[in-house]
Amino acid sequence: MTLLLGLLLASFFLTAAAIVPFINLLYKVKFRRLSQEKTIDAFGKLTPVFNMFHKHKGGTPLGGGLLIIIMVALMFSLIFPLLSLFGLTVTSNHPLNAELNVLFFTFLSFGMLGIYDDIKKTFGVKKSHFFGLRMRHKIIIQMVLGLIVGSLLYYTIGLSIINVPVIGVIDLGFWFVPFAAFTIVAFANAVNITDGLDGLSSGVLMITLFALWFLSASILDTPLSIFISLWLGALIAFLYFNIYPARIFLGDVGALSFGATIAVMGLLLGKIIAVAIVGGVFVFELLSSFIQLSSKKIFKKKIIPVAPLHLWLQKSGWPEPKIVFRTWLASIIMALFGLWLSTL
């Protein structure tokens, strides 16, 4: 634990030193949200309510997730090989190289998809593409990546089970691959949908990672514990500049990468159901958008005035910081509940 805390602090200070120059660089290259941008939700629909409340944020840099990905990947690549050199024991519940491969493939591949979409948004592409990839294209690419990750988990690591609280262990066999793909894509889009208010998704992500940190440390999975330590340190440094009023946004590069990686960690830990409860805020945000979209498609009417949930609260008159801070509190309770369930 001493090592993990030290790595978290080192990651925090290094990212804190890099983030202001990084923000200045984003301003210099004009990598920022367009003032005239017509924002869309994760299902490719225009969101006039969001645009009404957040129009003033035009010009704020995107791509904070890129810095976190770079910092975590570099620090992990430099630090992890030194552990055995200093005689520190590395333990893992899975084949070490296979676990590292699937973790980094998810972290980087979904980040690359996100940065591509951020670039298209930032530098203004055809309106027919909603300033980025069409949603069906993004989902297809995400499903392909999800199936690749699911196959890696099944064939190279040998994972096919999930632990359902109270019920016990269920072996899905080959169906683990599509299940993993669905879970990864769902989490990636859930974090992306939640990333709508200053500090909202980053704060919930921080709480979720602390819970995952506890789970990985409890089963002595050194690669996961170290990865989460570095990720947490970098995320906390970013969150300082992301809380209201934000000086930098996570962007699709961070939201897609981080959501997908959380799902993979839950699958590696064998506790994806508990992790879904730990990250319950993300799940509720995704469900609210999906239910709203389905209702409009099938019944031609809305179930709630506006989706996702955080936007509904904002339309109801709640100030942005109030929504964010109370959501953090709800996330803490869900994380504790999820951790408790994971012990059953």
Tens digits of residue pLDDT in 99-141: 999 999 999 999 999 998 888 777 755 444 444 567 778 889 9
Q: Looking at the predicted structure, is the pLDDT value of residue 161 above 80?
A: yes
Band (51; pLDDT cuts 50, 70, 90): low
Higher pLDDT, 116 or 152: 152
Rounded distance between C-alpha atoms, residue 314 and residue 258, angstroms:
25
Give which of 230, 206, 294 is closest to 69, Cα–Cα. Answer: 230
Count of CB atoms situated within 10 Å of the CB of 76 = 22
Q: Are 262 and 188 in contact (CB under 8 A)?
A: no
C-alpha 88, offset from chain centre: 30
Q: Average pLDDT of the chain?
A: 87
High-pLDDT (> 70) share of the chain, %? 89
